Amino acid sequence: MPRYRLLIEYDGQPYHGFQAQGGLATVQGSLERAVKAFCGEDVRVNGAGRTDAGVHATAQVVHVDLAKAWPAETVRNALNAYLVPEPIAVLEASVAEADWHSRFSATGRRYRYRILNRLSPPALEQGRVWHVKKPLDAEAMHAAAQGLVGHHDFTTFRDLNCQANSPMKTLDVATVRREGPEVILEFASRSFLHRQVRSMTGTLAEVGVGRWTAGAVTDALAARDRRACGPVAPADGLYLTGVSYPGSPEPD
């Protein structure tokens, strides 16, 4: 039974997250229906990241096992045809090793958060950016973010419903930069806790508007207490932008 590795992108606005949830619209559910329409098989599509409701992806990785060996480009083209008009696209498809797993074989994940920092609201990017009117000091946010890098107990930035076995995570990258009216945050780690990125982003935004200091962020991390977290940023601006695997280049 051949296993196919798919690189996909999607707009998360119409979906209740990646993972299938009964009769709710999800990315996983839409992909599985497309596979059914293509080859008549009821399958489980496995993703590298279980993005929340409203969260987007430019480089999600999934795998699916099919009974018949199809050319990879046929799988890609057929799924894209059956996904119309949903905002999901299969960018690449390839045959994977039988023991390769999109989630468990991954060695790293990268997320980007986009903040539109201007007075005027987004007209073309509604639901794809977090609109913050007050001026943000991106340099101060970046400096504060460095206190989060490393191996820590991230209980403060962990959703109360997180099902991870441990709050201990190693954050490899946390950067903040300004690109015109946008403030861009980048985070990289082997794995993340539930809503960790949105929790860190919302807290760093408090630094950006001058309500928190870099020391306050460090203190919040050390508190290991969810009540010490700043406001949680909305799902709108969050994107899964890369998943890395052994032997593959790190995602951009």
pLDDT at residue 249, rounded to an integer: 59
Q: Is residue 252 predicted with pLDDT exceeding 90?
A: no
Q: Please pick, among 11, 42, 52, 153, the residue that the annotation labels catalytic.
A: 52
- DSSP 8-class letter at 201: H
pLDDT at residue 116, rounded to an integer: 98
Decide yes or no: CATH 3.30.70.660 for domain 108-244: yes
**Is-catalytic flag, 99?**
no
pLDDT at residue 22, rounded to an integer: 83
- Burial (0-12, 13-18, 19+ Cβ within 10 Å), 166: exposed
Task: Decide if 3-96 and 108-244 have a common fold.
Answer: yes
The DSSP bridge partners found for residue 63 are 5, 46
Residue found under tokens 């419903």: 161
State what percent of residues in the chain have pLDDT above 90.
94
* CATH, range 3-96: 3.30.70.580
pLDDT at residue 216, rounded to an integer: 97
Average pLDDT value for the chain = 96
Per-residue pLDDT reduced to its tens digit, 34-43: 999 999 999 9
Which region among 14-23, 184-193, 227-236 has the lowest average model confidence (pLDDT)? 14-23
Residue scoring higher pLDDT (40 or 247)? 40
Token code pair at residue 66: 């099919």
Output the pTM of the full model: 0.95
Per-residue pLDDT reduced to its tens digit, 70-114: 999 999 999 999 999 999 999 999 999 999 999 999 999 999 999
Q: Where are the domains of the chain?
A: 3-96, 108-244
Distance CA 194, CA 157 (A): 9
